[in-house]
């Protein structure tokens, strides 16, 4: 595996989507424990469904930016030598043309069955207590990985990190595990680790190269030159 890419909310910021922790970030206005934990969900399902309904409804108004497009092109060039992992639940990578994206924190445009966690299906409407799993008829929940839940695709991601030559993390504050630990894993296996972000990473001990700037400026340039690092 040549390259593993991890993206976070910062790559979608210039498309107009709010990040989580920045100024006016989502978590400044919504209590995490209420809308991003299983406990919050079982306490008030309507509140949680409505929160994600709102985010889902807003998605079509945002367009992918040059950073999403550059990664889609690079993915086409590298084929199986490339893995795109995102913490984002938006669909901007797919709309930019990326064909295989591992959404480790789930996707807004999908729902999951409350009875069978492998019953996952596309959904673009408003979820409520009457929404049913098309496979078994049980009730549903947002297909979002909340705090305290295990992120998706971890085996494939760890396997890729153990064998990649380059690991780059883009537009993520690197505070939420396990994603925040990917740079350490890749570094330990000899990969060149690069951070692309507006601001310096608070823990850069595993980072070989840091490029500062807006994702839409620096990601396209990096994608053209990453082989030279």
Choice from 44, 117, 199, 203 touching ligand APR (CB under 6 A):
199
Show the site string, 157-186: x = touches ligand APR by CB under 6 A, - = not: --------------xxx--x----------
Q: How far is CA 217 from CA 21, 76, 94, 127, in A?
A: 22, 20, 20, 37
CA–CA separation, 87 and 63 (whole Å)? 18
Between 13 and 191, whose beta carbon lies closer to ligand APR?
13
Number of residues that bind ligand APR (CB under 6 A): 21
Q: Which residues of 159-192 are buried (b: 16+ CB within 10 A; e: fewer)?
A: ebbeebbbbbbbbbbbebeebbebbbbbbeeebb
Residue nearest to ligand APR (CB): 10
CB 13 within 8 A of CB 171: yes
Closest to ligand APR by CB, 85 or 133: 85
Q: Is 151 in the site for ligand APR (CB under 6 A)?
A: no
Closer by beta carbon to ligand APR, 133 or else 186: 186
Which residue in the set 68, 93, 105, 183 belongs to the binding site for ligand APR (CB under 6 A)? 105
Q: Between the CA atoms of 201, 207, 212 and 213, what dihedral angle is there, to the nearest 10 degrees?
A: -90
- Residues designated as active site: 105
CB 95 within 8 A of CB 64: yes
Q: Interface residues for ligand APR in 3-22 (CB under 6 A)?
A: 8-10, 13-14, 19-22
Output the smallest distance, CB 151 to ligand APR, in A.
9
140: which 2 tokens? 């549903």
Strands 120-122 and 106-113: antiparallel
Residue 143 lies near ligand APR (rule: CB under 6 A): no
Site for ligand APR in 73-102 (CB under 6 A): 87
Give the binding site for ligand APR (CB under 6 A): 8-10, 13-14, 19-22, 25, 87, 105, 171-173, 176, 197-199, 214-215
């Amino acid at each position: 595996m040549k390259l593993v890419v991890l993206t976070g909310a910062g790559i979608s910021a210039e498309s107009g989507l709010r990040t989580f922790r920045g100024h006016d970030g989502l978590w400044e206005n919504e209590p995490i424990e209420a809308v991003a934990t299983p406990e919050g969900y079982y306490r008030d399902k309507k509140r949680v469904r409505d929160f994600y309904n709102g985010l889902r409804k807003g998605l079509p108004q945002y367009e992918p930016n040059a950073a999403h497009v550059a990664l889609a092109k690079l993915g086409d060039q590298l084929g199986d030598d490339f893995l795109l992992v995102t913490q984002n639940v938006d669909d901007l990578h797919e709309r930019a043309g990326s064909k295989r994206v591992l959404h480790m924190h789930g996707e807004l445009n999908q729902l999951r069955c409350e009875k069978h966690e492998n019953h996952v299906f596309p959904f673009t409407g408003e979820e409520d207590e009457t929404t049913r799993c098309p496979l078994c008829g049980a009730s549903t929940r947002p297909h979002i990985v909340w705090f305290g839940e295990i992120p998706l695709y971890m085996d494939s991601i760890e396997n890729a990190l153990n064998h990649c030559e380059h690991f780059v993390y883009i537009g993520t504050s690197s505070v939420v595990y396990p994603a925040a630990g990917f740079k350490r894993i890749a570094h330990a296996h000899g990969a060149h680790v690069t951070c692309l972000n507006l601001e310096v990473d608070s823990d850069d001990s595993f980072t070989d190269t840091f490029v500062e700037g807006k994702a839409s400026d620096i990601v396209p340039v990096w994608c053209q030159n990453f082989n030279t690092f």
